[in-house]
Amino acid sequence: MGQLFLTNALITGNTAATGGSGIANCPTSSLHIYVTNGAAIIDNTNDELFVSNTQQETHGGTPTLHLSSRMLGGNPYNWEVLSSTDEVNLDNTLDQEIPVENEIDFGNNPEYTYKERASQLATVTISGNTGAKYGGGIGSNGDVTIGTPDETEVSGEKTWNDDNKDGVRPESITIKLFADGDLIETKEVTEADDWKYTFSHLPTTVGGQAITYTIEEEPVAKYDAEYDGYNVSNTYNPEKPEEPEEPDKPNKPEEPKKTTKKTTSVESRAGFYAGMALFAVFGIVLFRRRKQS
């Protein structure tokens, strides 16, 4: 029985008629997929991965499975069980070696940007293949190992520098995890978590280079954040009300200008005629008195 070892692999665009368009392992083989220098098994037709322990005459064994929850580079796969001959709990399946006790058909649904990143990190590509029944990309009756088993984690906690007297502390915060500057996951953290968080099962290297992890908190209104490694402390900084502006002093009203009434030419002529008429009346009266005397 043979063995296959791969690192930094992209398995995509393959198909199989029955199952395991990406990878299918028969009951004689074990499948170990690790996160460090592992694989991106994405965008294969119908499903991604098929494992079985179904005994077929002498064609059988005691297969084991180690399936990483994260793809090449560390982004989450978001695995889901498409079909199974028995109930499967993913929490008790991923990131650990388990015996294969039934047939399981897996699919996944990673975010588009995460798939792009994993594709860029791959140095081996398996694509465009067709399996007549099982195993489009890889179909094996021997053991298959992809990646190396070392991994790490990032843990931290939130400290609130306030007494929450104003009741503005949020019910949750969001922590972003970056690998070499690339966003690989976000996590919501609440008081129920004691304001602590852990990103687990992370790769230690990619392409032979150690990965540097950093975290960032999404801004919290009215709080200033400070970082100490992977720990975050938030100090309450309420907005101070703006002081009202002093009103402008009213301008002193201008004193009214003294005006001198000007006599128009019309008024002058009217006064002249009135004076002449009065003089004429006076002359007539004086003339009559002299005549009578």
pLDDT in tens, 57-88: 555 677 899 999 999 999 999 999 999 988 89
Strands 49-51 and 104-108 come out as antiparallel
Do 7 and 141 lie in one domain? The reply is yes
Do 32 and 125 lie in one domain? The reply is yes
Do 33 and 130 lie in one domain? The reply is yes
Looking at per-residue pLDDT, the higher value among 263 and 103 belongs to 103
pTM tops 0.75, yes or no: yes
With 90 as the cut, is the pLDDT of residue 35 above it?
yes
Question: CB–CB of 183/117 below 8 Å?
Answer: no
Do 169 and 138 lie in one domain? The reply is no
Do 139 and 163 lie in one domain? The reply is no
Cα–Cα distance measured from residue 139 to residue 18, given in angstroms and rounded to the nearest whole number: 12
With 70 as the cut, is the pLDDT of residue 28 above it?
yes
With 90 as the cut, is the pLDDT of residue 240 above it?
no
Do 77 and 158 lie in one domain? The reply is no
Do 142 and 9 lie in one domain? The reply is yes
Q: What is the pLDDT of residue 50?
A: 94
Q: Is 193 helix (H, G, I), strand (E, B) or coil?
A: helix
286 assigned to some structural domain: no
Q: How many other C-beta atoms are found inside a 10 Å radius of the C-beta of residue 144?
A: 20
Number of domains observed in the structure of the chain: 2
Do 69 and 85 lie in one domain? The reply is yes
Do 230 and 208 lie in one domain? The reply is yes
Q: What is the pLDDT of residue 246?
A: 72
Nearest to 158 by CA among 127, 198, 113, 208: 198
With 60 as the cut, is the pLDDT of residue 18 above it?
yes
Q: Confidence band (pLDDT; 50, 70, 90) for 287?
A: low
Helix, strand, coil shares of the chain, percent, nearest 5, are 15, 40, 45
| pLDDT tens by residue, 143-187 | 999 999 999 999 999 999 998 888 899 999 999 999 999 999 999
Alpha helices in 73-217 (DSSP H): 112-121
Do 121 and 25 lie in one domain? The reply is yes
Q: What is the pLDDT of residue 256?
A: 66
Residue 1 CB-half CA count within 13 A = 15
Cα–Cα distance measured from residue 11 to residue 135, given in angstroms and rounded to the nearest whole number: 11
Do 123 and 171 lie in one domain? The reply is no
The parent domain of residue 189 ranges over 152-236
Strands 213-217 and 3-6 come out as unpaired
252 assigned to some structural domain: no
Q: What is the pLDDT of residue 152?
A: 98
Do 70 and 200 lie in one domain? The reply is no
208 assigned to some structural domain: yes
289 assigned to some structural domain: no
Q: What is the mean pLDDT of the chain?
A: 87
Q: In what order do the strands lie in the sheet with 97-99?
A: 3-6, 143-146, 31-33, 64-67, 97-99
With 90 as the cut, is the pLDDT of residue 126 above it?
yes
Q: Confidence band (pLDDT; 50, 70, 90) for 122?
A: very high
255 assigned to some structural domain: no
With 70 as the cut, is the pLDDT of residue 280 above it?
no
Q: Write the CATH number for 183.
A: 2.60.40.1140
